[in-house]
Chain A
């Protein structure tokens, strides 16, 4: 479905080129969930931006199946505070100039998939963090994309809620069988969701894991010894982080 070969991406830092992605090969087949893990600043978001076409690769090739449609879930929900939940979910349809009647149906359909139909009339400030992120997922789903790109979608949520959201996402996959490319730095999240995990370090994939846990997966999967074994194995392969502890400056935490 998506074939990336020898992808390189450099950003200019002043006059000095800064290599972010340095020869990435990635093949994503239909209905697969592929996860990229790596420390912050390793270029995960840049990779997703390139897949989606928001950033142009410096060199290398990205082949997408003809007419492939993407839905993008950002790290923060990025909801527009002056629009209701339904208005936010319908935003991509407004941009795509879909007629109103059809829009309403599609919005309802997308909200159904994340179990938020009852919240259609609420405003973002009335939502909890988990609800807001589900609205963002509904917004990414509303045009029935072929591929869902998820950039650390649950990293702002507490661990319990996060497991919950992981299971919800698994259910969503069971229904829709959407191809997903996920970015995270939670190993648990990567293992529970993925068919394949790629470890990104210094602009390259240094390790690949094919997770063979049986589907459908759910809460019980977290408790299986196979799950624990995968988590342990991936931990063992994580590169040492020389400069810990280090301060990561990010934009202030905001949920909506």
Chain B
């Protein structure tokens, strides 16, 4: 994976989207579904135009995006700390692992009503639901990353008389990074799920609200607009992490593409 690869990927994605829209229009012409069941692309795009020009759309996207981002960052940071302490301190693992197994077997969204009760119906609750969603995947991938530090490399650092901080920065963190980034990629769409679930529990703004509002008024084009925006938020986050991954792991990732000269 490198830059020209990811541009080519982007172009492919664009072509894919265009052909999907063409296909969608064809289906509409042939099947002629009721507009409130399955609207045409033109109806959706004109609704998109309305919402965008009135500025409403940006407000809702902005709200949801900031819920997603703050939840994602906060949850990931805590997940990182969890994973690192689990790998570093045996007592933390003994203390927490039954709890983690137990909480992992409950769908995390089921905690949402409880969080609403604790934190009210404001912005913070949505961010917290998103954070709860990403916490474990990031934590477990971080743990796996730190556990993968090789013994020879540890012996090497000891033989150089590296201190704790140097071992962390020069060996452990770079060793764990690929796994941590994988965790972040898994977590990105989950953060979006968390924020929307949070909004479903009660709100008057955000893309989740836009969906509920559209549903109540049978405004299906608006529903589609909201869905597309959500997928853009999720994809944006995903590609941002992928960008980071290429930046940080560039030289290492080339090892995974056999037959391609670096």
Contact = CB atoms under 8 A, between A and B. Distances in A.
B128 to A, nearest CB: 35
Given A81-B255, A82-B174, A74 B152 contact: yes
Contacts of B10: none
A147 B155 CA distance: 18
Contact of B155 (A78, A94, A126): A78
A91 B151 CA distance: 17
Nearest to B159: A72
A111 interface: no
Interface stretch (B103-111, B160-168, B227-235): B160-168
Interface in A85-141: 91-92, 94-96, 123, 125-126
B255 A80 contact: no
A36 B170 CA distance: 32
Name the prevailing secondary structure of the A interface residues: loop
Contact of A54 (B153, B158, B170, B174): B158
A54 B157 CA distance: 11
Interface string A53-90: 01000000000000000101010101011101000000
Contacts of A123: 251-252, 254-255, 262
Contacts of A54: 155, 158-159
Contacts of B162: 95
A200 interface: no
Given A74-B156, A95-B166, A123-B262, A80 B174 contact: yes
Contacts of B174: 80, 82
Contact of B252 (A72, A82, A94, A96): A82
Interface in B215-262: 249, 251-252, 254-255, 262
Given A123-B255, A125-B255, A126-B262, A80 B171 contact: yes
Contacts of A21: none
A165 interface: no
B18 to A, nearest CB: 39
A91 B152 contact: no
A19 B189 CA distance: 55
Given A74-B155, A78-B153, A78-B155, A92 B171 contact: no
A81 B251 CA distance: 9
Interface string B184-226: 0000000000000000000000000000000000000000000
A91 B160 contact: yes
Given A54-B159, A78-B153, A80-B153, A91 B170 contact: yes
B160 A92 contact: yes
A76 B159 contact: no
22 contacts: A54-B158, A72-B156, A74-B152, A74-B155, A74-B156, A76-B152, A78-B152, A78-B153, A78-B156, A80-B153, A80-B174, A81-B252, A82-B174, A82-B252, A91-B160, A91-B170, A94-B166, A94-B170, A95-B162, A123-B251, A123-B254, A123-B262
Given A76-B152, A84-B251, A123-B262, 14 more contacts: A54-B159, A70-B159, A74-B152, A78-B152, A78-B155, A78-B156, A80-B171, A82-B251, A91-B156, A92-B160, A95-B157, A95-B160, A95-B161, A123-B252
Interface of A: 52, 54, 70, 72, 74, 76, 78, 80-82, 84, 91-92, 94-96, 123, 125-126, 251
